[in-house]
Amino acid sequence: MSFRVICLVQCKTKLLLIIFSSGSGAEQWRAVTFDNWISLLTGSGNQQASYRRSPIRHYADGYFCWVLFRASKLLMLDTRSMSFSVVDLPHGTSEAQVAILEAGNGRIKMFLNEHFTPELRYYVLQNDGVGANQWLSEATFNLPVNNGGYMFMGVVGGYLLLQGIGEDEYTFHLVSLNLKTLELEWFLASKRNNKGAHLFAGFPPSLSPPTIRHDI
């Protein structure tokens, strides 16, 4: 059985990908450097900048992706060729919640919820046929009105789960977006904040609850 171990190292002026490959007869570590890291963050090579926290990692269709809002870029790592590429974020995007998923036919899609507003935008990354990628706007959804906005909980089992702040005794309201039909569905009302919860799908029957309670 062969496997690979990938370690991404953020340095002051560059991004370094360290890769270990097994089963090739010559098991060893090798490095791939993304030299334009500092220019990507600042727009020039004259300033020194870094992210205080590493950008959240996403995975879809063989790509690891990092959203760099300060640079308005999406950094992509192709795990087949172990090469980096950079794509502009959709126009008008600032700090936002992002979910990146597979769109089929070797494409990826992005869901955006900006400034915790009720608006949810959906884009697909499309190659224009001449080697450049561009985001195509597919749809915009209006989430149920919620004074506190919505927070992405994660993607699991073909659904994007979002948590909002309710106004009744159940403080937290959760809705799900079916990623195939793009239909919004009511999911759960809870008295507890589910931020940071780990999502799972497909438990065996012995571990699945018989019902979903409303008074959690």
pLDDT in tens, 79-127: 988 899 999 998 767 778 899 998 888 789 999 988 767 888 999 998 7
62 and 133 together in one domain: yes
Question: Residue 64's pLDDT is what?
Answer: 92
Indicate the residue among 126, 142, 158 that finishes a domain.
142
- The number of residues making up the chain comes to 216
Question: Residue 210's pLDDT is what?
Answer: 55
151 and 129 together in one domain: no
135 and 92 together in one domain: yes
How many domains are contained in the chain? 3
Structural domain boundaries, residue 113: 55-142
156 and 130 together in one domain: no
Indicate the residue among 77, 108, 142 that finishes a domain.
142
165 and 179 together in one domain: yes
Indicate the residue among 142, 157, 181 that finishes a domain.
142
Q: Quick one: 173 exposed, middle or buried, by C-beta within 10 A (0-12, 13-18, 19+)?
A: buried
Question: Residue 122's pLDDT is what?
Answer: 92
The overall pTM is greater than 0.85: no
SS3 at position 190: strand
For tokens 């007869």, the residue is 25
Q: For the chain, what is the largest distance between any 2 Cα atoms, rounded to a whole number of angstroms?
A: 63
Question: Residue 48's pLDDT is what?
Answer: 47
81 and 130 together in one domain: yes
Question: Residue 213's pLDDT is what?
Answer: 47
151 and 193 together in one domain: yes
85 and 7 together in one domain: no
Measured CA to CA, the distance from residue 165 to residue 70 in angstroms comes to 28
- Identify residue 3 by its one-letter amino acid code: F
Query: Using an 8 Å Cβ cutoff, are 10 and 49 in contact?
Result: no
- What the block records as the tokens of 190 is 């809870």
Question: Which of 82, 57, 86 shows the shortest CA–CA distance to 71?
Answer: 86
Phi-psi region of 92 (alpha: psi -120 to 50; beta: other; left: phi over 0): left
Measured CA to CA, the distance from residue 205 to residue 200 in angstroms comes to 14
69 and 35 together in one domain: no
DSSP one-letter code for 25: S
Question: Residue 47's pLDDT is what?
Answer: 44
113 and 35 together in one domain: no
Question: Residue 18's pLDDT is what?
Answer: 93
61 and 132 together in one domain: yes
Measured CA to CA, the distance from residue 188 to residue 197 in angstroms comes to 14
The list of the chain residues with pLDDT below 70 reads: 24-27, 43-54, 92, 116, 128-132, 147, 166-170, 200-216
77 and 90 together in one domain: yes
